Amino acid sequence: MSESSTIGAIADDVTGATDVAIALRRRGIHTLLFFGVPPEGSDLPGHDAIVIALKTRTIGRAEAVAQSLAALDWLRARGAGQIYFKYCSTFDSTPDGNIGPVLDALADAMDVPVVAMTPSSPEHGRTQYDGYLFVGDVLLSESHMRHHPLTPMTDSYLPRVMEAQSAHRSGVVPLARVRQEGGIARRLAELRAEGVRYALVDAIDDADLTAAGRALVAEPLVAGAAGLAGGLAAARTPADHHEPPASAPEGVAAVLAGSCSARTLEQVDAMIEAGRPAYRLDAQADPDPASLAEKALAWYDTLTQKTEAPLIYSSLEPEALRQVQQALGAERSAAILESAIGRIARGLVERGVTRVISAGGETSGAVVSALGVPGGLIGPEAARGVPWILTTSGLALLLKSGNFGEPALLLEASR
Q: Which of 23-32, 70-79, 231-240 has the lowest mean pLDDT?
A: 231-240
pLDDT at residue 293 tops 90? yes
Query: What's the confidence (pLDDT) of residue 141?
Result: 96
Q: Are 364 and 400 in contact (CB under 8 A)?
A: yes
Query: Which residues are 378's β-sheet partners?
Result: 389
Q: Please compute the mean of the pLDDT values over residues 78-104 and round it to a whole number.
A: 95
Query: What's the confidence (pLDDT) of residue 129?
Result: 98
CA distance 151 to 153: 6
pLDDT band with cut points at 50, 70 and 90 for residue 240: low
Q: Residue 131: is it exposed, middle or buried by C-beta count within 10 angstroms (0-12/13-18/19+)?
A: buried
pLDDT at residue 349 tops 70? yes
pLDDT at residue 118 tops 70? yes
Q: Determine the residue type at 216.
A: L
- Name the percent of the chain lying above pLDDT 90: 80
pLDDT at residue 96 tops 80? yes
Query: What's the confidence (pLDDT) of residue 46?
Result: 78
Of 360, 364, 350, the C-alpha closest to 393 is 350
pLDDT at residue 314 tops 90? yes
Q: Please compute the mean of the pLDDT values over residues 365-394 and round it to a whole number.
A: 88
pLDDT at residue 43 tops 90? no
Q: Please compute the mean of the pLDDT values over residues 107-133 and round it to a whole number.
A: 97
Q: Are 257 and 313 in contact (CB under 8 A)?
A: yes
Query: What's the confidence (pLDDT) of residue 241?
Result: 57
pLDDT band with cut points at 50, 70 and 90 for residue 4: very low
pLDDT at residue 1 tops 80? no
Query: What's the confidence (pLDDT) of residue 380?
Result: 87
* Count of Cβ atoms closer than 10 Å to residue 40 Cβ: 7
Q: Determine the residue type at 203.
A: A
Query: What's the confidence (pLDDT) of residue 47?
Result: 85
CA distance 18 to 399: 7
| pLDDT tens sequence across 132-169 | 999 999 999 999 899 888 899 999 999 999 999 999 99
Q: Please compute the mean of the pLDDT values over residues 254-273 and round it to a whole number.
A: 97
Q: Please compute the mean of the pLDDT values over residues 317-327 and round it to a whole number.
A: 93
pLDDT at residue 272 tops 90? yes
pLDDT band with cut points at 50, 70 and 90 for residue 377: confident
CA distance 289 to 265: 22
pLDDT at residue 114 tops 80? yes
Mean pLDDT of the chain: 93
pTM of the model: 0.78
pLDDT band with cut points at 50, 70 and 90 for residue 30: confident
Query: What's the confidence (pLDDT) of residue 2?
Result: 40
Half-sphere exposure of 259 (CA within 13 A, CB side): 28
Query: What's the confidence (pLDDT) of residue 3?
Result: 36
Query: What's the confidence (pLDDT) of residue 239?
Result: 61
